[in-house]
Amino acid sequence: MTEFATTATDLVIATLLVGGASFALIGSIGLARFRDFYKRIHGPTKATTLGVGCALLASSIFFTRLQGSFSSRELLIAVFLFITAPISAHLLVKTALAEDPASSPPPQPAAAQDPSSTTASAVPSTGTSTVKAPTAG
């Protein structure tokens, strides 16, 4: 029974480690292969953070079994990393936008569509109201 439990825990730890390393590798492949910076920042900020989370969970399980008491120190790194990863990603995108303002998303379609839709919806209503008013009067 103890032998079985040890083997099962080993299996869980090894699966978490290989899965986390695969996530980190996928994020790094995205970093190396995508063409645009805004596509490139997508991979590391999500996949790599998840990969490190898996590795930290495996480490927590392993040292809990090794020391006999709950090892909560890995949660410290995990919480810190999950808080700081979006902040650094936000700062990097702001840096990239400041370096190349031409790559910022174009505001023209929304600004052009907004007045046309309001005038298109406003003109018939005013037209019908001005048409209706003489016929009523």
Partner 1 sequence: MSVILSTGTGIAIGLLGLAMLLCAIRLVRGPSVADRVLALDTLYVNSLALLMTLGIRLAEPAFFDAALLIALLGFLATVALAKYRLQGDIID
Nearer of residues 14 and 112 to partner 1, judged by Cβ: 14
Structure tokens at 112: 């052009």
**CA dihedral angle for residue 80, residue 81, residue 84, residue 90, rounded to 10 degrees:** -170
Residues 34-73 that bind partner 1 (CB under 8 A): 37, 40-41, 44, 48-49, 51-52, 55-56, 58-59, 62-63, 66-67, 73
CA-wise closest residue to 26 among 47, 40, 9: 47
For partner 1, which residue of 70, 72, 75, 84 counts as binding (CB under 8 A)? 84
Q: Which amino acid would we find at residue 39?
A: K
Window contacting partner 1 (CB under 8 A); options: 14-22, 104-112, 117-125, 126-134 = 14-22
C-alpha–C-alpha distance, residues 70 and 6, integer Å: 16
Q: What is the dihedral of CA 32, 37, 38, 44, to 10 degrees?
A: 40
Instruction: Rule CB under 8 A: choose which of 1, 68, 69, 99 binds partner 1.
Output: 99
Distance, CA of 40 to CA of 29 (rounded, Å): 9
Task: Decide if residue 75 touches partner 1 (CB under 8 A).
Answer: no
Taking the chain, what is the end-to-end CA distance rounded to the nearest angstrom?
Answer: 95
Interface with partner 1, residue 102, by CB under 8 A: no
Shortest Cβ 40–partner 1 spacing (Å): 7
Q: At what angle do helices 2-33 and 49-67 cross, to 10 degrees?
A: 160
Residues in contact with partner 1 by the rule CB under 8 A: 6-7, 10-11, 13-15, 17-18, 20-22, 24-25, 27-29, 31-32, 37, 40-41, 44, 48-49, 51-52, 55-56, 58-59, 62-63, 66-67, 73-74, 76-77, 80-81, 84-85, 87-88, 91-92, 94-96, 98-100
